[in-house]
Amino acid sequence: MKKNTLYIVLMLILGTSCSFDTPEKDLRIAVSQCSDDAWRQTMNEEILREASFHPNVHVVIKTAFDSNQKQIRDIESFIADRVDLIIVSPNEAVPLTPVIEKAMNEGIPVVLVDRKTSNSQYTAFVGADNFQIGKEVGVYTANLLKGKGNVVEIRGLKGSTPDKERHEGFFSVIRNYPEIKIVYENDGGWLRSQANEKMTDALQKVPTIDLVFAHNDEMATGAYEAIRIAGSSSKPVILGIDALPGTDGGIQKVLNGTIDATFIYPTGGEKAVQTAIRILRNEPYERENILYTAVVDNTNARVLKLQTDQIIQHQHRIGQLNTVLDLNLAQYSTQRILLYFSLAVLFIILVLLVLLFRSYRHKNRVNRELGLTNLAINRQKEELSEQRDQLITLSKNLEDATQAKLVFFTNISHEF
């Protein structure tokens, strides 16, 4: 038991006072988001959760609220702050390219997420293949319409790369079906409200609509609301992209019947941070990190919902564990300070005890020496007093002899 306690104390002292492995240098990762919506917030949460597993990684997030100018300013400020790496989802490709090039030229690595710029000047990309998603939507549409029907396409923000790529992928399939016609096509800016307006417009202009392809679930919801308000007798099939989990996500919307199918567009926040850390540690990394996609419709929405709900619960639990861990770490550091303090006090007490013991021993030695000197002095004193007595006796004898001599000489002189 005693041995164990000693071991623990030793480990504590060693573990706290001297850390053998050099602590990792602080890494500042800046995130520039183009918009603020559920999809972006999910990505931001993933980024922060992944970063929380690395105590030396500090993340700062800025959102441009769909403004190119604001995003350029955000990235300029990150460059001025000399952050270690920037994760960017460019609102539009062309306007954002120069500032991203500037960051690269100043030696700040850039990880693009979800959207791209107009050239290949970036360190790494994390996101799904939007051309491929568009193609998959095309194949799904062709199968559903059995090669014939009228399609409305509500596209994403013009100038952002996913809009262009999703459209091109979709069209690369649809053009093989001459009887499938894109009867209306417009920019919904990735926003529900804009898609609602465009769908209302389409309903007024086109008499028969068989399918609506909205480039994301938000816009698909906007289109659904417009169709509901118009009160048309036959509801077209509505397809979206994103398939976010959660109560307001695309998977739930498929279950509710708001949209008929959606395609998973992974947010990839964890992968973005993992790639960023590998770049900053000079470890090997993939330049193109293409994330998976899959369709979500009434055949698999329920099982996916169960799984994603469980994942959300686990993530929530991780969040709670992180809070507990932070608390414990704070307690640990206070206890460490207390331990240092107690060790210092103990050390001072030990030094004082040693000094006390030494002075006690010194005093004893001096006392002993004094005793001996005393003894010697006493002995000397006795000897001296003996000598004095002898001298007294001697002088007495001398006096007696002198007296006798005097008496003798007196008597002799009388005789003479």
Residue with Cβ nearer ligand FRU (27 or 190): 190
Residue with Cβ nearer ligand FRU (291 or 339): 291
Which helix (H) or strand (E) covers residue 27, if one does? strand 27-33
Residue with Cβ nearer ligand FRU (115 or 135): 115
Contact 223, 214 (CB under 8 A): yes
Q: Which of residues 323-352 bind ligand FRU (CB under 6 A)?
A: none
Site string for ligand FRU, 64-93 (x = CB under 6 A): ------------------------------
Among the listed residues 271, 317, 4, the one whose alpha carbon sits nearest the alpha carbon of residue 126: 271
- Check the CA dihedral 341-347-349-351 and report its sign: negative
Contacts of 186 (CB under 8 A, 6+ apart): 153, 154, 155, 198, 201, 202
Residue with Cβ nearer ligand FRU (115 or 305): 115
Residue with Cβ nearer ligand FRU (216 or 289): 216
In the list 31, 32, 35, 169, the residue contacting ligand FRU (rule: CB under 6 A) is 35
Contact 222, 216 (CB under 8 A): no
Which of these ranges, 31-39, 47-55, 220-228, 392-400, lies near ligand FRU under the rule CB under 6 A? 31-39
Report the C-alpha gap between 309 and 317 in whole angstroms.
12
Give the shortest CB-180-to-ligand FRU separation in angstroms: 23
The length of the chain is 416
Give the shortest CB-323-to-ligand FRU separation in angstroms: 28
- Three-state SS string over 28-54 comes to EEEEEECCCCHHHHHHHHHHHHHHHCC
Other residues' Cβ atoms within 10 Å of the Cβ of residue 37: 18
User: Would you tell me the crossing angle of helices 2-17 and 301-415 to the nearest 10 degrees?
Assistant: 100
Applying CB under 6 A, does 63 fall inside the site for ligand FRU?
no
Applying CB under 6 A, does 269 fall inside the site for ligand FRU?
no
Which of these ranges, 22-30, 36-44, 222-230, 383-391, lies near ligand FRU under the rule CB under 6 A? 36-44
Kindly tell me the burial class for residue 232, based on how many C-beta atoms sit within 10 Å of its own C-beta (0-12, 13-18, 19 or more): middle
- Joined together, the tokens standing for residue 204 give 């007024």
Q: Which of residues 109-138 bind ligand FRU (CB under 6 A)?
A: 114-115
Applying CB under 6 A, does 190 fall inside the site for ligand FRU?
yes
Which of these ranges, 10-18, 34-42, 329-337, 345-353, lies near ligand FRU under the rule CB under 6 A? 34-42
Site string for ligand FRU, 224-263 (x = CB under 6 A): -----------------xx---------------------
In the list 40, 116, 155, 305, the residue contacting ligand FRU (rule: CB under 6 A) is 40
Compute CA distances 351 → 93, 331, 344, 360, 364, whole Å: 70, 30, 11, 14, 20
Applying CB under 6 A, does 180 fall inside the site for ligand FRU?
no
Other residues' Cβ atoms within 10 Å of the Cβ of residue 325: 12
> Site size for ligand FRU, by CB under 6 A?
15
Mind giving me the DSSP string for 220-267?
HHHHHHHHHHHT-SSPPEEEEEE---STTSHHHHHHHTSSSEEEE---
Give the shortest CB-114-to-ligand FRU separation in angstroms: 5
Applying CB under 6 A, does 32 fall inside the site for ligand FRU?
no
Report the C-alpha gap between 358 and 339 in whole angstroms.
28
Give the shortest CB-244-to-ligand FRU separation in angstroms: 8
Residue with Cβ nearer ligand FRU (44 or 216): 216
Residue with Cβ nearer ligand FRU (168 or 383): 168
Contact positions vs ligand FRU (CB under 6 A): 35, 37, 39-40, 114-115, 156, 160, 162, 190, 216, 218, 241-242, 265
